[in-house]
Each structure stands twice: as C-alpha cells, then as structure tokens.
Structure 1
Amino acid sequence: MPSYDDSTGKSKITEAKTRYTVLASFFAIGLCLGIVISERIYVQKRAVIPKPRQLVSEIASRMHVGHHTAIAGPRNELEAYLMKIAPQKELLLAVANKNTMWDGMLDTFTQGFKRAKVSNHMVLALDQETVSWCQQNGINVFMMNVTIAASQKGTGDNHAVSALKFGILRNFVELGWAVLLSDVDIAIFQNPFEHLYRDSDVEGMSDGFDERTAYGSIEGFDDPSMGWGRYAQYYKHFNMNSGLFYIKANNRTLELLTRLETRLSKEKYWDQTAYNEEIFFLSHGNYRSPQVSVRVMDIDQFMNSKRLFKDIRHRSKDQQPPLPVMVHINYHPDKHERLKAVIQYYIGGNEHALDSFPGGSEPGTR
C-alpha cells in the first residue's frame, strides 16, 4: 500500500493557528486603544460643556447644609446661639425694633411664644432697646446690625424694616436653619411647628380669604373676536403674604433670598410684591426662576384677618373651624386693638370681643 506523508497538513494547521493568534492580538490591542481614545474624547467634550450659572455655583459654595457638624464648633455668634435655643434646626423668628414696643404690640405678640410653648423662638432685634426689653421679659433675642438701603428710605418704618428680612433670613439659611418668619401683628394660639407639612421649600400664609382665592382656581377668558378659539383658561390665586412663611434651608431658598436681598437693596419696591414675583414668575427666555416649591398654609389654621372678620366670626359657633394656630392682622390698620380682641375671642372667653369692629376698615362694613 502507498504511504501518506501527513506533515504538510500538520504544518498548515500550525500556520493557521499562528495567524489566528496574531490577528487576535491585533484585535485586542486595537480594542484597548479604542477605549483609551474614547475616554480621552469624552473627557475633552465634558470640559467644554457650559457650567451652571455663576449665581448657583456661588450659592452652593456658601450653603453650609450637610457640610458642617456641631462637633467642629459654631462658625459665628449667631450659630452658637441657634445651637443653644433651636438645636433641631427650626426657628420661629420675628424681626423687631423699638417702635414695636411703644404701644405694647411686641409684648402681645411674644405672649404667644409662652402660650403655645414655642421654646425655639427668637426676636431678631435691630436696636439695643429691643434687646433689653426681650432680656427683661425672658424672650430669646439676638441683635444684628443692619442698614436700611437707600432705595427703601421714605417708604415708612414698617416697609423699610420688612424689606430687610430677606437679607436677615439669608444668614440663618446659610447656617442650615429652617425658619418660620412671623410679623409681630400675629396672635399665636398653638405651636405652629406641629402643623407644618415640610414638603415644600416655602410654606406660607395666603392673603386669600376663601378656598378659591387662597388655593387657586381656573378662570375663563373670552375674546369673541377669536371665533372658534374665543375661550381660554388661566390660573388665578391671591398673593402669598411675606409676613408669615416657613422656609427650608437649601440652595433654592438661598438663591431666592439672595435675589430678594439684592433686588430690594436697589429698587424702591414693596417686599411682598417682589417676594411673589420671584416665587411665581415662570422661567422664560434668559430668565430662570429660583424654582422653589410652594405650599399654601391652611386658611383656617393660619388665618388672615379678612377671613376672620368678614366670614368666620359671623358663623354660628358650631360652624366655625377649631382654634386656629395663628391669626395675622394683615388686612386692618388698627392692628393692636384687633389683635388683643382676637385673643380675647379665642381664649379669653369673650364671644363678643370682635363685635365692635367693622368687617373692613370702614365703619359699618360687615
């Protein structure tokens, strides 16, 4: 039988394996190079992506929430005092000067701290007379030297002081404290911290006096000239009151306060109007809103004086809502007299305490 030499076949197989190994090596090297090049391209492209607005980055660098612990010690006198009186990082704050003491308004207001057992309270005093009065009456007080902006001079003491509060609040928010800001024309009946939802950046009282005006409603607009498209809808609600609101400590609220402080230092403008514009004006074009989330306080728990004097007091007792948390005399100029009467009406046992007051500011109105 003829003999077969298989050496040629074996050599072909060996050559094929060698070629495969070489090709596989080249493929692996190419894959690695591709990954390296792709990563470099990604890094280079990331470098040219536009950065956030400068204001936001400045806010972030100033915001201390989550970046500081009590172990490190307080950073300033304000934080040291806050750690003492409000260790849970929530504070009921009122801004006051000596003018609020002249007719006893500050005394009537601060009695609410004691009545509702609000230990985490503070009066931010603008002068030494207010500091001394608070110390004599057992009220937590801290003095801050602030200057009324030239743009606010001539607006009246109340409005000028009110315009300062956003800059004052910024100091607290920067340190990480949430603040329930309160004007002094408010009666406190219950601890407000037990009635907050805390699910929004800003939780505030409305100037609305019923469900539609406070919580909002969809309204219709009719333009007959548009024919088929004559009807359109829009959303409407009353403004939030800048004299009673709870504000969380985060980057969005810090930006809101920074904008308001800057704006009111340059413009002769009512602080409440600016407050609502900054919260509710929608982002458009080159304008970006602070994008804070908002909750309206319950109108029967955090009640304004129009709702009380024009509606609630005229209802029979069994149809009236339970004891409110706070009542704000925001609609009427005779603030202190009404404030004292409201306290007598709700906890003084005098169901006729409000009878002598007109519903509005004009005599005879109901």
Structure 2
Amino acid sequence: MLMNIKLKFIPVILIAILTSCQMNSGDQNEDSTSLKGVTQTAEIISMNGKKITDELLKLQQENLISAKDASQLSKRLNEDLDHYLLHQDIDTKGIEQLFLESVKSFENIKINRSVFTIIQSAYHSITSQRMMRDPAKIDMTIQLNTNNMMNQWFENYQTDGDKLTDLITQVQKEKRLALDKDITAAEYDEMINTVNKIKNDSLISKEQLKEMLIAGMRKHANKSNNSNLAILNVYGAIDRIKKLGIEKELSAIYEKKWVKPKEPSYAEMKQQVTGRFTVLLNEEHISQNEFSLLTNTLINDIAYCESASINDKGKIKDQLLKGLSILKPMALDTEDREAVTDWYFMLSQKKGVDIKSELNKWLYDL
C-alpha cells in the first residue's frame, strides 16, 4: 500500500510554467489546469521515488540486499523517475529502453523477486502517469506492453533454482505473517521442505515430482477457500517452474474442496469496489489517478460481465485477464489484493470461466 508521506515539489517544472508568456483569462484557466496536472504528476513521482527508497531500506534491514546495492538501486531508479518528469511524452519504446538500460547497470546485483518487484514499480509509476496524461484518451497499452516486457525479462533472467528460492521466501513470509490462519506452522514447514527437496535433489524424476505435488495438495487442501488457494499456489508454482503439466489435476483437488460463498449481485460488486477504494483514497493510501485506474478497470469489467452472453466465454476470459494485467503492478497491501482477487473470481464463476491459475499468479506474484 502506498505510504502517507510529505511530498516535495519539482521547482524546475513550476518555474518553466510560471515564467511563460502573459495570457488572457481563458488561457489562464487552461494553464491553471495544466499546472495542476503537472504538479500532481510531480507529487506522485516524488512519492513513488521515496517509497522505492523506503522499500529498498526494508530489504537491507532484512539482510536481503547490501547497503551498497540498495543505494545503487535507489539512485538509478529515482534518476529514471526524474527523467520521466523532463520527458513526459516518452513512448512505450522509450520506457522499455529505460528499464533495459537500468537492469543492465544492475548486473553486479542479484535480482530476486523482492528486488524485481521494486524495480518494476518504478516503471509502473512512469507508465501509470504516461497513460493518464489525457484522461479522455487513456492508453492502457503503454502499461500493458511495458509490464509484459518486464515480466518476460525476469522470466528469462531467473533460473529454476532462483524461482524455487523465491517460492521458499514467499512461503516463509506467509508463515511469519500468518496470512492464512488455518494453515499451521507445521504445514508451512512441510511445504517449505518439499520445495527445498525439489531444489536440491536433481535426481527426482518428473513422475515422482507429479506424485509429490498431487499428494501434498490432497493432504493439505482441506481448509477455507482462501487457504486452499494459497496451498494451490505453492504446488502450482512448482508445477509451472518444473513444467510438469499437472495444473488441471491440482485445480481439480482445489475445486472439490471449494465451498461456494453467497455471491453479491453485479450492482453490489460495483458498490463494494467504489466503497473500498474511496476509503483508501480518503486515507491518502492511493492517489486520485490510482483510484481512477482501480475503480474504472474493475467496474468496467463488472459491467462487461453483466452484459456479456454466457456463451462468450473466450471473450469474457480475455476481458478479465486484461483487467488483471492492468492492475497487476498496483501497490496494494495483501488484504486489498485479496479483495481484487475475490471480485475477479466471482466474475469468473458467474460466467463459468476458469482463471484460477492466473489469479494464483496475480495474488501471490509467483
């Protein structure tokens, strides 16, 4: 979730505007609106730059990166944010080039999932502002294409061992935070031991791996829907990393244990979305632009499902996955991300489409 911090303005931008030519009253109103937009952009970029520095400091305090690496990352990412303030017409290719040049400069740093998420957030901040420059013509492809490119880069960058190490770190974090109350510490430890065994034992065959994962899923997935989804995510992540092809078998176990909750109507879902993010906006946890992106994306997808024919399953699935992709980089805390997941899951259930695997990846970022 975005932090509530005191913002600093960028004087160079303001001076450039305030020293412009004299204007008539109509021009003054137009320029006042322009000034407000530029100032808000500077505020958001400044806030995200501070957040990046704070998040890197947390990783340093957790001994996940060195002070030198944290400083190098913070300096370069904030330079890229400042670059955007001076080049706000930058296109997708230019943003992608910024990213590629920066990660190349980080070749001396081991980029794990935690570090990559922070790196990615810098360019998400840039693409969010870039696509919202003209609210009447929001160009979501800028963010979608850049986000897809960054994810593909990280997919190619990491080895299977790196991915399994990140999975272990994620499960350890879930255990420490007790995110799912009905998963015991012993069960978390058993899942961690399974991942460690797979990571360290290269002699385990694919058939043995399949049996291990299916047996583990059957043993542990007997809890609440959210907890079973968390368990499915662990075994599903191993399946994807090792390319075992047992997604359907694992999902079938989850579905067998799933208990259907009372679903809200489409109108109630729209009210829930607006209500939840209005609270976050009022508490200054999200910006006005982020509020607009969250509510517009979700409400548009709810409206789409409400009017779509149940026979258009392919189009409905594409619409939901597009919405998830747009919201993927949003800086929300676990509870709010789970709420987004719940809404999309309910939409998929209403229309009979299967996006559980995609929801797993979206929620837990594995």
**Fold shared per TM-score above 0.5:** no
- The structure whose residues are more often strand, as a share, is 1
Rg comparison, structure with higher value: 1
With normalisation by structure 2, the TM-score equals 0.23
With normalisation by structure 1, the TM-score equals 0.23
